[in-house]
């Protein structure tokens, strides 16, 4: 049933409202947009709407479906007018019914905001002077919208924001020359989570010229205790987009580029080459190795950090000959079961905050040319006893034995490009089954019980046991599944190394299926 309509005639609000009546709904909320008599100071006596109907209807349906899914409302509908309208006519109608009022208000608000941004509808304004003008749809509703946005919009035009860096330029080692260095710098931040929030915030505040932000995840409620840039109302949205909005709000002079998918072995070197410094802030060991390899090959310095419960590790990879990379210390990627994660092990919120603030400090020190006496060390930060221990990494004991960091990194990247064909994306597990895959649940027994898969798996093999039970994967094509895609990806690569080319991993794991709905 269609929930979005384009209508050449006046909206039948009673009919629309009645279609939202449902025994499960405890209330209903509607928004009406009306034609106003002025826009940007010009008197308007009417307007015409033109829509790219096919696209507008498809996009409108999608927006209403998103609102229903996102806020869990019982039902929602929207009608947008086309054709000629007079002052006071209704241009758009939105309604949502839900068990509780809050979801209804929020769904309604979501629909009108998204319609404003995404619908291919144009407005021709007829001015009282007899002139007329076409105005893009995004403009139309900005003028209709809530007043604070309107006021802010004009205020920003009247007085462009001028950042005040006096508190840092006062430092003798920074000064105006240092500030100019920061303004000319391009920094890529990979991961906009617990570590990334302080890194992005401090670098934006400091006036870095260009910030790149990479994060393929959407905000989850469980992130909020440590990811301080985000609001409860942001749940479900891409962190890269939220972070870019946060930077724009904090320091509009910073240029932001975002990637809403993780970098790959195929593109990481090229992307790194567009930046002066990379800060690795993911919770993913595979991403860390990819970053170390890409940093070494592109000669882009890298600041690594990772955390576990109440402690963290920090390493600066200079990406210069004779300086150690991450593989000099940890040559091979460890099994995901060995490294722990925030999900399984837990983490106190400020711990990534401290390590992220340290990464931001290292980044500024590097860009300003300040001394980094412990740059070649692994720094162990223990927030239980507040100790920091620096262990110098001897590059002579590292990749040198295997041809040097660059040769090791090139080989690792080439292997990773081959392995990327292992990760397959599906919106629904049924689709994978229909495509001929046998599903293997590689989570642990506790997860099988607490969070059953939406489709029954052909096999249940905990990721740590796939090698000893490799014989069970002999016939057919297998799709390994875990919560995030990490354990399944690692297990699939181990099996591939044993020559089993019929094994794949569900990209993003069960979490990705939930988002896709």
Partner 1 sequence: MTVVNLQYYAQLREQAGTSSEQFTTGASSLRDLYEELRVARGFSLSADALKVAVNAQFSAWDRPLRDGDTIVFIPPVAGG
**What is the spatial distance between Cα 517 and Cα 8, in angstroms, rounded to a whole number?**
33
Answer yes or no whether residue 307 interacts with partner 1 by CB under 8 A. yes
Give whichever of 274 and 397 is closer to partner 1, judged by the CB atom.
397
Q: Residue 406 CB, nearest distance to partner 1 (Å)?
A: 22
Q: How far is the CB of 74 from partner 1 (least distance, A)?
A: 38
Q: Does 468 bind partner 1 (CB under 8 A)?
A: no
- Could you give the string, one character per residue 414-453, with x where binding to partner 1 holds by CB under 8 A and - elsewhere? ----------------------------------------
Token pair recorded at residue 162 = 């001028």
According to DSSP, residue 320 is labeled S
Q: How far is the CB of 284 from partner 1 (least distance, A)?
A: 7
511: phi then psi, degrees, rounded to nearest 5 = -60, -40
- How is residue 272 written in tokens? 């790194």
Instruction: State the minimum distance, in angstroms, from the CB of residue 105 to partner 1.
Output: 35
Judged by CB, which is closer to partner 1: 168, or 306? 306
Find all residues with CB under 8 Å of 151, minimum gap 6, and list them.
none
Q: Is 394 in the site for partner 1 (CB under 8 A)?
A: yes
Q: Distance (Å, rounded) from C-alpha 191 to C-alpha 319?
A: 20
Residue 199 or 318: the one with the smaller Cβ distance to partner 1 is 199
Residue 3 beta carbon to partner 1: minimum distance, rounded to whole angstroms: 39
Under rule CB under 8 A, which residues in 262-301 are in contact with partner 1? Answer: 281-285, 288
Q: With contact defined as beta carbons under 8 Å apart, do 481 and 488 qualify? A: yes
Of the pair 184, 388, the CB lying nearest partner 1 is at 388
Q: How far is CA 16 from the centre of its chain?
A: 36
Question: Closest distance between partner 1 and the C-beta of residue 229, in Å?
Answer: 14
Helices within 320-443 (DSSP H only): 326-329, 336-339, 342-345, 350-368, 405-419, 429-434
Exposure of 25 by Cβ count < 10 A (0-12 exposed, 13-18 middle, 19+ buried)? middle
Show the DSSP H helices in 256-335 as ranges: 268-272, 285-298, 326-329
Segment contacting partner 1 (CB under 8 A): 109-117, 248-256, 290-298, 303-311? 303-311
Instruction: With contacts defined by CB under 8 A, name the span among 111-119, 168-176, 246-254, 336-344 that binds partner 1.
Output: 336-344
Q: Which residues pair with 171 in a beta bridge?
A: none
Q: Does 345 bind partner 1 (CB under 8 A)?
A: yes
Give yes or no for residue 380 binding partner 1 (CB under 8 A). yes
- Is residue 340 near partner 1 by the rule CB under 8 A? yes
Tell the smallest beta-carbon distance from residue 381 to partner 1 (Å): 10
d(CA 123, CA 248): 28
Greatest CA separation for the chain? 82
CA-based angle 109:114:115, to the nearest 5? 100
Q: Does 501 bind partner 1 (CB under 8 A)?
A: no
305: contact with partner 1 by CB under 8 A: yes
Q: Which stretch binds partner 1 (CB under 8 A): 9-17, 140-148, 302-310, 444-452?
A: 302-310
**Residue 333 has what DSSP assignment?**
P
Considering only residues 349 to 368 of the shown chain, the ones binding partner 1 according to CB under 8 A are: 352
459 strand-pairing partners: 440
**3-class DSSP state of 59:** helix
Does the footprint of partner 1 cover residue 347 (CB under 8 A)?
yes
Distance separating alpha carbons of residues 263 and 271, to the nearest angstrom? 8
Please work out, in degrees rounded to the nearest 5, the angle formed at the alpha carbon of residue 210 by the alpha carbons of 185 and 160: 115
Q: How far apart are CA 121 and CA 35, in angstroms?
A: 15
DSSP for 162-205, please give it. ----HHHHTSTTTHHHHHHHHHT-EEEEE--STTHHHHHHHHHH
Determine, following the binding rule CB under 8 A, whether residue 334 of this chain makes contact with partner 1: yes
251 touches partner 1 by CB under 8 A: no
| 341 near partner 1, judged by CB under 8 A | yes
**Among residues 322, 392, 454, 476, the one that binds partner 1 under rule CB under 8 A:** 392
Residue 342 touches partner 1, criterion: CB under 8 A: yes
Cα distance between residue 305 and residue 381, in whole Å: 10
Q: Which of 445, 510, 497, 447 is nearest to 470 (CA)?
A: 497
Tokens for 209, please give them: 């010229």
Nearer to partner 1 (CB atom), residue 119 or residue 347? 347
Q: Does 311 bind partner 1 (CB under 8 A)?
A: yes
| Cβ-based nearer residue to partner 1, 105 or 330 | 330
> How many CA atoms are closer than 13 Å to the CA of 495, on its beta-carbon side?
31
Site for partner 1 in 183-222 (CB under 8 A): 191, 193-196
Residue 384 touching partner 1 (CB under 8 A):
yes
Piece of the chain touching partner 1 by CB under 8 A; list 92-100, 179-187, 249-257, 388-396: 388-396
Q: Of the listed pieces 268-276, 309-317, 363-371, 410-418, which binds partner 1 according to CB under 8 A?
A: 309-317
Give contact residues for partner 1 (rule: CB under 8 A): 191, 193-196, 281-285, 288, 305-309, 311-313, 329-330, 334-336, 338-342, 345, 347, 352, 378, 380, 382, 384-385, 389-394, 397
């Amino acid at each position: 049933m269609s929930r979005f309509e384009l209508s050449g005639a006046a909206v039948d609000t009673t009919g629309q409202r009645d279609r939202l009546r449902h025994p499960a709904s405890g209330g209903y909320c509607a928004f009406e947009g009306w034609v106003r008599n002025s826009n940007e100071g010009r008197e308007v006596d009417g307007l015409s709407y033109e829509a790219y109907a096919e696209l507008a209807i498809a996009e409108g349906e999608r927006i209403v479906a998103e609102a229903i899914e996102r806020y869990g409302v019982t039902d929602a509908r929207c009608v947008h007018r086309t054709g000629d309208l007079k002052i006071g006519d209704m241009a758009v109608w939105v309604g949502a019914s839900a068990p509780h009022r809050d979801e209804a208000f929020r769904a309604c608000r979501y629909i009108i905001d998204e319609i404003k941004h995404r619908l291919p509808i144009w407005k021709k304004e007829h001015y009282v002077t007899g002139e007329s003008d076409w105005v893009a749809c995004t403009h139309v509703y900005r003028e209709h919208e809530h007043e604070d946005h309107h006021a802010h919009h004009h205020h920003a035009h009247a007085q462009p924001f001028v950042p005040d860096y006096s508190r840092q330029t006062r430092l003798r080692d920074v000064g105006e020359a240092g500030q100019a260095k920061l303004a000319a710098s391009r920094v890529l931040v990979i991961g906009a989570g617990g570590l990334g929030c302080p890194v992005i915030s401090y670098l934006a505040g400091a006036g870095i010229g260009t910030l790149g932000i990479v994060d393929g995840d959407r905000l989850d409620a469980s992130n909020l205790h440590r990811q301080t840039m985000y609001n409860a109302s942001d749940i479900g949205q891409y962190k890269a987009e939220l972070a870019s909005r946060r930077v724009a709000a904090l320091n509009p002079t910073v240029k932001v580029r975002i990637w809403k998918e993780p970098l790959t072995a195929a593109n990481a070197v090229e992307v790194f080459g567009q930046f002066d410094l990379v800060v690795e802030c993911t919770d993913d060991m595979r991403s860390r190795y990819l970053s170390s390899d890409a940093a070494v090959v592109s000669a882009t310095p890298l600041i690594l950090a990772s955390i576990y419960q109440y402690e963290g590790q920090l390493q600066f990879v200079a990406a210069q000959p004779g300086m150690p990379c991450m593989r000099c210390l940890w040559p091979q990627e460890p099994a995901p079961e060995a490294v722990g994660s925030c999900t399984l092990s837990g983490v106190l919120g400020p711990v990534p905050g401290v390590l992220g603030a340290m990464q931001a400090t290292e980044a500024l020190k590097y860009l300003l040319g300040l001394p980094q006496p412990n740059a070649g060390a692994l720094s162990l930060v223990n927030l239980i006893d507040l100790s920091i221990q620096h262990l110098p990494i001897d590059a002579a004991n590292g990749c040198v034995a295997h041809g040097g960091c660059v040769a090791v990194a090139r080989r690792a990247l080439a292997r990773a490009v081959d392995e990327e064909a292992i990760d397959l994306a599906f919106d629904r597990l049924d689709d994978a089954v229909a495509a001929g895959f046998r599903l293997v649940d590689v989570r642990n027994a506790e997860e099988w019980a607490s969070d059953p898969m939406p489709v029954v798996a052909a096999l249940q093999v905990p990721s740590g046991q796939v090698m000893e039970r490799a014989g069970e994967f002999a016939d057919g094509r297998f799709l390994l599944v875990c919560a995030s895609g990490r354990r399944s990806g690692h297990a699939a690569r181990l099996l591939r190394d044993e020559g089993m080319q019929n094994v794949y991993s569900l990209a993003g794991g069960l979490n990705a299926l939930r988002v896709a709905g």
